[in-house]
Amino acid sequence: MDRKAYTPDEVAQLFQISKHTVYELIKRGELQAFKVGNKMRIEHSEIERYKESTKAPAKKIQVEEMDTHASSPIRLSGSHDFLVEHFVKQTSKDLQQQIQPTYIGSLEGLMMLYRGQTDIAAIHLLDPASQEYNLPFILQLFVHESISVVRFVSREQGFIVAKGNPKGISDFNDLVQKNVQFVNRQKGAGTRFLFDSMLSKHGITPTEINGYSTEEWNHLSTASYISRGMADVAFGIQSAASHLGLDFIPVAKEQFDLVFRFTNENKQKLTDLIHYLQSSGFKSSLTDLEGYDIQDLGTIIYQTSKLEETRC
């Protein structure tokens, strides 16, 4: 039977990508979708259009190929952060280097890097066994690839609540109260990894929390549930609470890193980006730092590449 429309799951299978990536394409307007009730659907004609848009033109003269290569953006995938957004904007301004970001969560960003579908992964993944961030995952995945792991920032994670904390949220045990509504981050997000690890440590099961299955895709949209009165508490970063004038109860400090995967095509651009991260010029451009620690910004904490560890 000829299918006229597809679910995000079916589109993910067709393109061999994750469902989260499909939703991100829809959010960015690269893939047009419509709703049937509360279910998302994508028409067959739209899938064919998107397929064609991703194909490289069959014939190009040599000059065109060189121009396209010179202007091609660096792809960044993974976790959303306000300072990552700032980094993307500043590199365009100061280096004339375009970075194309896709905020789909730490785990999916790292997997895209592993599959060669992106150049940089932005991640903050807590390994429950070692209680170490990022490297346990990286060491399992990247054995032969040429990579550098660069410390970006340390961030405060905790409870985001309404001004004055009307429900008196102070620790994880308060989340199981019947009159407390929670809003969560999506599976694969580094914040979700940390939150689930904390729940396990406190002996709390997800079914005990009202709203655990309600998921949002970035810190600001999650915090907006609180500002609009749609939920009482979220787990997220301090800067998201500050952006919306909400209160914040700190719980943990996490490490947020950028993983660069080098190829013959991107090596020079990635080297320039790392040097820029290490520069005093970029550091001086960071002004809204509530909830952040940039002391180790630009430090190479692990590498398998030949990149010189030079500080500008």
Average pLDDT over residues 172-180: 97
Residue 100 within any structural domain of the chain: yes
Domain co-membership, 162 together with 248? yes
Domain co-membership, 105 together with 21? no
Domain co-membership, 141 together with 96? yes
Of the three residues 38, 54, 70, the one that is the final residue of a domain is 54
> How far apart, in whole angstroms, are the C-alpha atoms of residue 4 and residue 17?
21
pLDDT value at position 55?
53
Q: Check: CB of residue 270 under 8 Å from CB of residue 263.
A: no
Domain co-membership, 246 together with 262? no
Domain co-membership, 89 together with 24? no
Q: Which domain holds residue 243?
A: 157-253
Q: Check: CB of residue 277 under 8 Å from CB of residue 259.
A: no
Work out the mean pLDDT of the chain and round it to a whole number: 88
Residue 312 within any structural domain of the chain: no
pLDDT value at position 309?
45
Domain co-membership, 134 together with 191? no
Is the CA virtual torsion 272, 277, 283, 285 positive or negative?
positive
For 296, residues 6+ apart whose C-beta sits below 8 A from its C-beta are: 151, 154
Residue 310 within any structural domain of the chain: no
Domain co-membership, 142 together with 161? no
Domain co-membership, 119 together with 145? yes
**Amino acid symbol at 74:** I
Domain tally, the chain: 3
Residue 67 has pLDDT above 90, yes or no: no
Residue 170 within any structural domain of the chain: yes
Domain co-membership, 269 together with 243? no
Q: Which CATH number covers residue 224?
A: 3.40.190.10
Residue 182 burial by Cβ neighbours in a 10 Å radius (0-12, 13-18, 19+): buried
Domain co-membership, 224 together with 93? no
Residue 192 within any structural domain of the chain: yes
Residue 92 within any structural domain of the chain: yes
Residue 70 has pLDDT above 90, yes or no: no
Regarding predicted confidence, which is higher, 21 or 192? 192
Domain co-membership, 263 together with 126? yes
Domain co-membership, 246 together with 201? yes
Residue 111 within any structural domain of the chain: yes
List, for residues 224-242, the tens digit of each pLDDT value. Answer: 999 999 999 999 999 999 9
Three-state DSSP class for 34? strand
Residue 293 within any structural domain of the chain: no
List, for residues 241-254, the tens digit of each pLDDT value. Answer: 999 999 999 999 99
